[in-house]
Amino acid sequence: MSIMERALTVKKATREAFGDEIVKLGKENKNIYVIDVDIAKSCKTTNFIKQLPDQHINVGIAEQNAAGLAAGLATTGKIPFVSTYAVFGSLRMAEQIRQEICYPNLNVKIACSHGGLTPANDGGSHQAIEDMGVLRSFPNMTVIMGADYFSTRKLVEQAAKIYGPVYLRFTRDTVPIIYDENEEFTIGKAKQIKDGNDIAIIANGDTVRLALEATKQLEEEGISVKLLDMHTIKPLDRDAVVECLKIGKIITIEDHNILNGLGSAVCEVVAEEGKGMVRRIGVQDQFGQSAPYEKLLELNGITVENIVETAKKMLN
């Protein structure tokens, strides 16, 4: 069954993918450590703690200390994964990540749950909508968000194998399983879900499911869509974006502020190439509110309906 034919009815949060994959990786490589900040249950690292206690450290509610500890472990050849919420693992730790991890280019992974609007009812203070933008501006940093359970597992596995700082962003809420468990992914290489020649849609993370549904609707109306899952924000797959410019019309979709995230990264390529039109769908440069996840998406226009309407307007 192709990705476009899947019913997308089975759902799992991508934080669960991290929890499952890190246990597997930790058993295979004793240099892999998990550093928790007292929220292991939420970040799905409790199984790692039970099965690999000697490779686990809990620093308490002290994310900045976790970053420093991870940096120190990395200098001894360990591969630490700092596990916390995205809003803390990016913004609260930003100075430590820049100075202690990225500047010396250490092999530290920042693995964060509750990315984007998925914390929902926790309110705007817990919704990380600037995180990928902030961290993609740091030299040496790789920024990744998988679209579903299986893609996230594969990307976590690859993150453990490559050298250097990596930011991994996961969802709190469940999202549909899109890919087969045997699907292969490469960091820095977009996954083309469908080829087309009327309009290109580039989505990231939990918005890929919306892009899929919108693509189906557009195809039913005779509009040919090229659909990409841009799981790696940095390094961005520039070649894939340039291929989209052969179509000339691009829509980006992200559960992130439209400033400095996926949309901005794509626009940078388009501007440098000197051609093409881009419309960005994402959080509209505003803080979130305390509301159900789907309601927050609707308030920001991150919906199937808005994607379809935007595509039609661009074509007309």
CA torsion angle 199 205 207 209 (round to 10): 90
Q: Which residues are catalytic?
A: 63
Token pair 């900045």 is found at 64
Phi and psi, residue 146, nearest 5°: -75, 155
Q: Which residues is 33 bridged to in the sheet?
A: 80
Question: For the chain, percent helix, then strand, then coil, each to nearest 5?
Answer: 45, 20, 35
CA 177 to chain centre: 15
Phi and psi, residue 35, nearest 5°: -110, 115
Amino acid at 192: Q
Q: Which residues contact 110 (CB under 8 A, 6 or more apart)?
A: 67, 81, 82, 84, 89, 90, 93, 97, 135, 165, 166, 167, 168
* Secondary structure (DSSP) of 166-213: EEEE--SS-EE--S-TT---BTTB-EEEE--SSEEEEE-GGGHHHHHH
Tokens of 97: 């990540």
Alpha-helical regions (H) of the chain: 14-28, 40-43, 46-51, 63-75, 86-87, 94-96, 131-136, 149-161, 208-220, 238-244, 262-273, 293-299, 304-315
